[in-house]
Amino acid sequence: MAFEKNVFNKTSRTDSEIAFLGGMTIVCKSSTDLFLYVVGSSHENELMLVSVLTCLFESLNHVLRKNVEKRWLLENMDGAFLVLDEIVDGGVILESDPQQVIQKVNFRADDSSLTEQSVAQVLQSAKEQIKWSLLK
């Protein structure tokens, strides 16, 4: 909490997108009432961190339907976690192209709805088979 407070205090007072605090490189972007941060070690390339932050922001912008605000983020936290999961895993950058992230997130969302639809179809088919076997 202290680190987060220090980061917020340092970045909210300046227009700079890049900050250095406690041996960490921090890039930030704000939108309405939301602050997004990407934190890396002091040895990380600032351009890569900015690229990850831009990808995160643009992907969230798409998932949240251009409403990158705290309320919409909290209501769609599952989609935000999917976006974050596609961009970074265990501190390793997997993707920095927002279009690729959006495509993967949409595929995962479509995949889960297909599974639910498939289960519903199987249940409906089973009901029909039972009905026909009872009518014979």
User: What mean pLDDT comes out for the span 70-93?
Assistant: 88
**Looking at the 3D structure of the chain, how many domains does it have?**
1
Res 131: pLDDT: 66
How far, in Å, CA of 51 to CA of 74, rounded? 24
Phi then psi for residue 37, to 5 deg, are -130, 145
Residue 114 pLDDT class (50, 70, 90 cuts): very low
The answer to whether residue 103 scores a pLDDT higher than 60 is yes
State what percent of residues in the chain have pLDDT above 70: 78
Indicate which CATH number applies to the domain containing 76.
3.30.450.60
Phi then psi for residue 46, to 5 deg, are -60, -35
Could you list the residue range(s) of the whole structural domain that residue 60 is in? 2-135
The answer to whether residue 109 scores a pLDDT higher than 50 is yes
Res 53: pLDDT: 94
Residue type, 100: Q
The answer to whether residue 63 scores a pLDDT higher than 50 is yes
- Following DSSP, what letter does each residue of the chain receive, concatenated? -HHHHHHHHHHHT-S-SEEEETTEEEEEEEETTEEEEEEEETTS-HHHHHHHHHHHHHHHHHHTTT--SHHHHHHTHHHHHHHHHHHEETTEE----HHHHHHHHHHHHHHHHHHHHHHHHHHHHHHHHHHHHHH-
Residue-wise pLDDT for 3-30, tens only, equals: 889 888 888 877 778 888 889 999 999 8
State the pTM of this model.
Answer: 0.72
